[in-house]
């Protein structure tokens, strides 16, 4: 996946993790895993948690891990804990915010989905 071109219309985001450029994507399965790991009951609650700035570094790692898995990287949480993220926590937070925005924005409209419930 290192040479994969990022497709923002497909919700993809690039992040250099463990010295390799990775493509992150929040698939439905990755979102379900993220809801469970963060203890959220709905996608809307999950998005509101991050939009409201009510997240911890552990939450950020869970989001990045879900994105990695959705992008095809078969890592366990421990793999990400030991990996270096180029740009550090700030780059991880930027990628996570972009990942959420792309997962819940209708391409070309700029509007976020989810107002109809999830």
Contact yes or no for 50/82 (Cβ under 8 A): no
pLDDT per residue as tens digits for the range 88-100: 999 999 999 999 9
Cα 93 from chain centroid (whole Å): 9
Per-residue pLDDT at 82: 95
- Range with lowest mean pLDDT among 5-9, 51-55, 77-81, 82-86: 51-55
Contact yes or no for 1/72 (Cβ under 8 A): yes
pLDDT per residue as tens digits for the range 4-60: 789 998 999 999 999 999 999 999 999 888 889 888 888 888 888 888 888 888 999
Distance of alpha carbon 63 from alpha carbon 69, whole angstroms: 10
| pLDDT tops 70 at residue 3 | no
Per-residue pLDDT at 110: 55
Q: 86 to each of 2, 6, 57, 98, 110, how far by Cα in Å?
A: 14, 17, 16, 16, 28
Per-residue pLDDT at 118: 38
Instruction: Give the SS3 label for residue 90.
Output: helix
């Amino acid at each position: 996946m290192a040479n994969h071109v990022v497709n923002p219309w497909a919700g993809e985001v690039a992040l250099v993790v463990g010295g390799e450029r990775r493509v992150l994507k929040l698939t439905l399965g990755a979102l379900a895993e993220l809801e469970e790991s963060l203890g959220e009951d709905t996608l809307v609650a999950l998005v509101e948690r991050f939009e409201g700035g009510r997240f911890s570094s552990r939450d950020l790692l869970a989001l990045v891990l879900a994105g990695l898995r959705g992008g095809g990287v078969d890592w366990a949480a421990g793999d990400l804990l030991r990996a270096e993220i180029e740009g550090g926590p700030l780059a991880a937070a930027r990628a996570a915010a972009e990942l959420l925005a792309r997962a819940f924005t209708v391409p070309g409209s700029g509007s976020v989905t989810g107002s109809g419930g999830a």
